């Protein structure tokens, strides 16, 4: 196995874990959607989104990834809001 194949194999394992975590997160997003619907709450909660991004950036060990983790969580929350809207 060459070096590139080894890197790709490592990425595949990480992607597997990410998929499992994504599914777990979306299960909780569904519960949040039900709660919001039952309590007539809006889907968008801007200050919460800002807090989520801030925490993610703070957790980074390598701050060079700050822009990318911000994009990642912005997109993740967009997906979550779209899912909530469907429910």
> pLDDT digit string (tens) for 52-76?
999 999 999 999 999 999 999 999 9
Q: Where are the domains of the chain?
A: 3-86
- Architecture, CATH, for domain 3-86: Up-down Bundle (1.20)
Residues 5 and 53 sit within 8 Å (Cβ to Cβ): no
Q: pLDDT tens digits for 4-54?
A: 999 999 999 999 999 999 999 999 999 999 999 999 999 988 999 999 999
Instruction: Record the pTM.
Output: 0.88
The yes-or-no verdict on residue 2 having pLDDT over 90 is yes
Please give the structure tokens belonging to residue 5: 């194949």
- DSSP letters spanning 70-82: HHHHHHHHHHHHH
């Amino acid at each position: 196995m060459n070096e590139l194949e080894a890197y790709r194999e490592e990425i595949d394992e990480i992607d597997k874990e990410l998929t499992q975590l994504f599914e777990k997160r979306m299960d909780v997003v569904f519960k949040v959607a039900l709660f919001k619907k039952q309590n007539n709450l809006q889907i968008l909660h801007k200050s919460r989104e800002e807090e989520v991004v801030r925490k993610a950036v703070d957790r980074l060990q390598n701050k060079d990834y700050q822009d990318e983790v911000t994009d990642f969580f912005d997109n993740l929350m967009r997906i979550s809001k779209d899912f909530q809207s469907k429910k």
